[in-house]
Amino acid sequence: MNKIITVSREFGSGGRELGRRLADAMGMEYYDKEIITEISKHTSLSENYVRQIIEHKPHNLYPITIGRSILYVESPEFSHAQSVYSAQRDIICDLAEKSDCVIVGRCADYILKDMKPYRLFVYADMDSRVRRCMDRVNPEESFTEKELLRRIKSIDRDRAKYYEYYTGMKWGDRLNYDYCINTTNIVIKDEIPKLAALFM
Amino acid sequence: MNKIITVSREFGSGGRELGRRLADAMGMEYYDKEIITEISKHTSLSENYVRQIIEHKPHNLYPITIGRSILYVESPEFSHAQSVYSAQRDIICDLAEKSDCVIVGRCADYILKDMKPYRLFVYADMDSRVRRCMDRVNPEESFTEKELLRRIKSIDRDRAKYYEYYTGMKWGDRLNYDYCINTTNIVIKDEIPKLAALFM
C-alpha cells in the first residue's frame, strides 16, 4: 500500500507550506489545487465555481412552503456540492492508489481512512497566523489586522462545517489525527528533515 | 541551554513509557517519580503524602463562618500543597539546569517555559487507554472495564484541575504544546527512533 500523508490545517498556520516541503523532501507527489482542476474536468463545472463550493460551508437542502407544508428540495448549489464532493472523493482515491503522496485538506484523512494515512493537523496561535497571512498577502490587496483576523476565523469556521458535514467528525479534534504540529515558534523549512524522519 | 523535553499525557495513553524510552534513546536524564522523592526530602513530608497532594486536585482555602462573615483560612492541606508545589518548582528548575532531560507531568512545560522546552502532549482514544491500563494492572487488583473507565476519567479531571490551578492554562489545549502525539494505533517502542529524530 502506498505511503499517504494527509494535512489538515488551520488557516494561516503554514500547513500547506509544510505539506509541500514534506512532499519535496520525501520525493512524494503533492496534491492540493491540482485536485480542483481534476474535479472541474470530471464535473464540467468551472474551476472557480468548484473552488467556491469547496471553500464555503456546505449548502443545505432548500425549504419551500406549499400550503401548510414545508418541503425540502435540492437547490442547484446543493446538487453541485454533492457532485463536487463525489468527484473529489473518487479523484483522491485514484491519486492515493497511484503513488506515495501528500494531500492537503479536502477531508482526505477521512476519505482515505482504509489506507491508514499519516494524518497531520497543523496549527498555530492567532498572532503568528495573522503575521503569516500579512507576509504573504498580495501587495495590491490591503487588509487591516482586524480584517485578517475576521477572515481567518471565518475560513476556519467554514472548513470545520465542511469537514463535519461530509465526515460526521469534528474538525481539529486531536483524536482524528496522528500528530498535531504547532508552527507558532518554528521556521517550517528548518523542521522538514526532522518531520520527514517521522514517516520514513 | 540544556535540551529539555516535557511530556504531558492523558492517563493510559502511554505517555510515561514514551518519555522514558525517549530519554533512553537520546541519552538524556529522565525524571518522573524521582521528583516526589526529592520533594519529600525538601519538605519533610512523606513520599506517600506528597504523591497524594500531587495526584489529587488542589486544595482550596477553607471557609469558616464567624457571625455573618465568611473568612477563608488555610487548611493544613492547603498549606502543604503550596509547599509541595513550591518545592517541586525549585527541584524541576534545578534538574533542568543540571543536564538535558525528559520530565513527565508536574506542570514542567509551564515551570520551564523560559528554557523553551519541547512540549509534548500524548493522547489516545478511550478504548486503547482502557486496554493499556488492563494490560498493566496488578494481577492482585481486579478492575472491571467500567471501573477502569471511571478511574481514567477521574484522574484526567484531577490532572486538568491541578494544571489549571497552578498555570492558569487549560490542560490538553493544543496551543500549550509543540507536538501532540496520538498513541492509539502505534507500538510506542517502535516509534521512538523516529520521534527522537524530532529533537536531535
Q: Do A179 and B180 touch (CB under 8 A)?
A: yes
| Residue A195 belongs to some domain of the structure | no
Predicted model pTM: 0.88
Mean residue pLDDT across chain B: 88
How many other CB atoms are there within 10 angstroms of residue B166's CB atom?
18
Q: Looking up cell 474551476, which residue turns up?
A: A47
Under the banding of pLDDT at 50, 70 and 90, the label for residue B134 is: confident
Nearest CA-CA distance, residue A116 and chain B, Å:
10
Interface test with A, best of B178, B185, B191 (most A CBs within 10 A): B178
B82 touches chain A (CB under 8 A): no
B197 touches chain A (CB under 8 A): yes
Nearest CA-CA distance, residue B126 and chain A, Å:
10
Q: What is the pLDDT of residue B100?
A: 95
ipTM score here?
0.87
Measured between beta carbons, the chain A residues lying within 8 angstroms of B180 are 174, 177, 179-180
- Residue of A147 and B140 predicted with greater confidence: A147
Three cell numbers written together for A112:
482515505
Mean residue pLDDT across chain A: 88
Contacts of B188 (CB under 8 A, 6+ apart): B14, B17, B18, B21
Distance CA B91, CA B97 (A): 10
CA distances (Å), A162 to each of A120, A156, B61, B184, in order?
Answer: 18, 10, 47, 26
Q: What is the pLDDT of residue A58?
A: 59
| Residue A196 belongs to some domain of the structure | no
| Residue B73 belongs to some domain of the structure | no
B179 touches chain A (CB under 8 A): yes
Q: Do B174 and A180 touch (CB under 8 A)?
A: yes
Distance CA B108, CA B163 (A): 10
Tell me how long chain A is.
200
| Residue A173 belongs to some domain of the structure | yes
Q: Do A177 and B179 touch (CB under 8 A)?
A: no
Instruction: Give the tens place of pLDDT for each residue, A127-176.
Output: 999 999 988 877 777 788 888 999 999 999 999 998 998 899 999 999 99
| Residue A198 belongs to some domain of the structure | no
Instruction: Give the tens place of pLDDT for each residue, A83-135.
Output: 778 888 888 998 999 999 999 998 999 999 999 999 999 999 999 999 999 88
Distance CA B168, CA B80 (A): 20
DSSP letter assigned to residue A41: H
Q: Looking up cell 496520538, which residue turns up?
A: B182
Q: Highest-confidence range of A140-154, B2-16, B43-57, by mean pLDDT?
A: B2-16
Q: What is the pLDDT of residue B64?
A: 65
- Residue of B133 and A124 predicted with greater confidence: A124
If you write DSSP's letter for every residue of B15-79 in order, what string do you get? HHHHHHHHHHHHT-EEESTHHHHHHHHHHT--HHHHHHHHHSPPPPPEEEEETTEEEEE--HHHH
- The structural domain count of chain B equals 1
Q: Do B175 and A200 touch (CB under 8 A)?
A: no
CATH number of the domain within which A48 lies: 3.40.50.300
User: DSSP 3-state helix, strand, coil percentages of chain A (rounded to 5)?
Assistant: 55, 15, 30
Q: Is the pLDDT of residue A62 over 60?
A: no
| Residue B118 belongs to some domain of the structure | yes
Range of the domain at B169: 4-40+88-194
- Rg of chain A over Cα atoms, rounded to whole angstroms, equals 18
Nearest CA-CA distance, residue B133 and chain A, Å:
19
Q: Are A51 and A36 in contact (CB under 8 A)?
A: yes
| Residue B200 belongs to some domain of the structure | no
Nearest CA-CA distance, residue B189 and chain A, Å:
14
Q: Is the pLDDT of residue B57 over 70?
A: no
Cβ-based contacts under 8 A for chains A and B: 51
| Residue B182 belongs to some domain of the structure | yes
Q: Do A125 and B195 touch (CB under 8 A)?
A: no
b/e per residue B74-104 (b: at least 16 CB within 10 A)? eeebbebbebbbebbbebbeebbeeebbbbb
A125 touches chain B (CB under 8 A): yes
In chain A, the percentage of residues whose pLDDT exceeds 70 is 92
